[in-house]
Amino acid sequence: MDANTSQATPRLKGFGMCTHFASREKGWKIERLLPLMKEAGVSVVRTEILWDTVELQPGTYAIPAVDREWLDALREAGIDLLLLLCYGNPIYPNPVDPQAFAAYCHWLGSELKDYPLLGAEIWNEPTNFQFMKHYGGNWSGIPPCPWADRFAELVQVSAAAIRQAHPRLPIMTNPGDPQFFHMVEAHPEAFRDLDGVGIHPYACRFPPETVPWGGAQLQQRDGVSVADDDHSFLSLLRRTQEWGRQHLGRELELHVTEFGYTTYNQHRRPGMVAGYTEAAQAMYLTRGMILGLAGGARTMCVYDLMDDGPDLFDQESNFGIVRHESAGYAPKPAFHALRRLARQLGPDWSYVPEAPAELVTEINPLSQNEDHWQKPVVEPHLVLTSPQAHWFRTGNEWMTYVWRAGRNDGEYNAPLGRLVWDDAPPFAGVEVLDLVTGESIGVKVQREGTRLIVDDLPVGGSPVSVRWMAP
């Protein structure tokens, strides 16, 4: 069972949550959801204050009462805000007028100086929200592309307006992937006042012709859900930093402003893209959170805090780690898994890029026959299925997170591995925990001189934590 369940959860540095607190009619009630975020260890909230609710008449601005309520609640709770500035406003002949949008951004930047803003995000997914529909052009943003040109203009003038109003506020945008790469090449001026970029590493496949370097895949989908290997998180983060250095002469701060997976009904029905169990959601979200933090993302914002509705077969409505108001805001397994991670790492973790110990795994046949009882089915469409081990420091202790990348179909037993640490420092003990189930795992720990070996370590789909306790 879960250890220390009665202890308060420290805020996990970088643990963000996407919310929609202005939609109280859909169950987004700050007074009910804020205690759950505090319990989970959330340190950042990413949410929006919509342009068309702030400016009802041209040049007249006011924050709606429903937004002021959650703004004050987050400030009192000490949770940082990543503010999404969006979308169009029908009071203007051009609902995505860049100068009018920039004026709204300037006013909000001035108005919210007394709130704990981690950053301001200019727009979200312009291909899905208004720009491509309004101006036309191809989805990928490959020049010539009218919507991408107009979006770059809006970003440039809006970032300058925010900078004038709130000089120290970090500013970012989210053109999408692979649209970001084409925008940096075609419109580097749009990034002049930007500090960072938002990334959405959902499970998807980029056709080779859509990425500017040609041929290489950044993300892959295995038909069910992988989305946490090198081609979905780490490669995308690294490629984004590389593109900033190459075309802007600097690295952009990275924010994963959305990532998540569907949750319900592993038995498909016509019209469903895919179905997932809640345990699979917990597994993938936790693996993704660890990978994003290891890859240098400043925030990892889970999409979404709460399900938007009771329809269990609708993907978009069931990304939440908490069930809908109609189901009593009950936490799902992903909630508990992320809370366990928060309790282990807290606010002061640091990533260890050079692993001090080697992870070794084997496929062991049963002794009485040749059945490879731990051997999973080979699936050639998976890009990465190798064992993963990521190391962190927190205080005087080390934390290691281990799993086998790829799909979890639940049809095989996890291969057993071992961690071999040469010249290991002294430890008071080693604790091993399944982050999804919360169960303690019995392992064999032995010393051979200065070598420390942790044996019988399951390396399967569920991420396992190894806590090396300080003496």
The domain boundary, picked from 327, 347, 367, lies at 347
Q: In what order do the strands lie in the sheet containing 451-458?
A: 358-362, 416-421, 451-458, 444-448
The CATH number of whichever domain residue 48 belongs to comes to: 3.20.20.80
Q: Which helix (H) or strand (E) holds 259?
A: strand 253-259
Do you find a cis peptide bond into 144, omega within 30 degrees of 0?
yes
Please check whether residue 4 lies inside any domain of the structure. no
Task: Give the chain's domain count.
Answer: 2
Indicate if 335 and 392 belong to the same structural domain: no
Give bridge partners of residue 361 from the DSSP assignment.
Answer: 417
Indicate if 204 and 297 belong to the same structural domain: yes
Among 147, 154, 64, 66, smallest CA distance to 103 is for: 154
pLDDT at position 228? 42
Q: Which three-class secondary structure state does DSSP give residue 165?
A: helix
Please check whether residue 7 lies inside any domain of the structure. no
The domain boundary, picked from 283, 318, 347, lies at 347
The domain boundary, picked from 325, 347, 369, lies at 347
Per-residue pLDDT of the chain (471 residues; tens, 9 = 90+): 454 444 579 999 999 999 999 999 999 999 999 999 999 999 999 999 999 999 999 999 999 999 999 999 999 999 999 999 999 999 999 999 999 999 999 999 999 999 999 999 999 999 999 999 999 999 999 999 999 999 999 999 999 999 999 999 999 999 998 899 999 999 999 999 999 999 988 766 566 677 776 544 444 443 333 444 445 577 788 889 999 999 999 999 999 999 886 554 444 555 444 456 788 888 889 998 999 999 999 999 999 999 987 766 566 677 899 999 999 999 999 999 999 999 999 999 999 999 999 999 876 555 555 555 556 555 555 556 678 899 999 999 999 999 987 766 555 677 889 999 999 999 999 999 999 999 999 999 999 999 999 999 999 888 999 999 999
Indicate if 32 and 172 belong to the same structural domain: yes
pLDDT at position 1? 40
Please check whether residue 8 lies inside any domain of the structure. no
Give bridge partners of residue 61 from the DSSP assignment.
Answer: none
pLDDT at position 219? 46
Indicate if 330 and 378 belong to the same structural domain: no
Under DSSP, the state recorded for 53 is H
84 token code pair: 């999404």
Indicate if 281 and 361 belong to the same structural domain: no
Please check whether residue 98 lies inside any domain of the structure. yes
pLDDT at position 208? 67
Please check whether residue 197 lies inside any domain of the structure. yes
Under DSSP, the state recorded for 230 is T
pLDDT at position 22? 96
pLDDT at position 122? 98
Indicate if 374 and 341 belong to the same structural domain: no
Q: Residue 150: phi, psi to the nearest 5? A: -70, -35
Please check whether residue 5 lies inside any domain of the structure. no
Indicate if 399 and 327 belong to the same structural domain: no
Give residue 302's domain range.
15-347
Indicate if 155 and 303 belong to the same structural domain: yes
Indicate if 123 and 269 belong to the same structural domain: yes
Please check whether residue 9 lies inside any domain of the structure. no
What's the pTM value of the predicted model, to 2 decimals?
A: 0.91
Indicate if 75 and 146 belong to the same structural domain: yes
Indicate if 196 and 270 belong to the same structural domain: yes
**Using N-to-C axis directions, what is the helix angle for 179-186 and 234-248, rounded to 10°?**
10
Angle at 379 between CA 378 and CA 380, to 5 degrees: 110
pLDDT at position 149? 98
Please check whether residue 148 lies inside any domain of the structure. yes
Beta strands 416-421 and 358-362 are antiparallel
Indicate if 381 and 248 belong to the same structural domain: no
The CATH number of whichever domain residue 430 belongs to comes to: 2.60.40
Q: Quickly tell me which residue has 């997914």 as its tokens.
A: 125
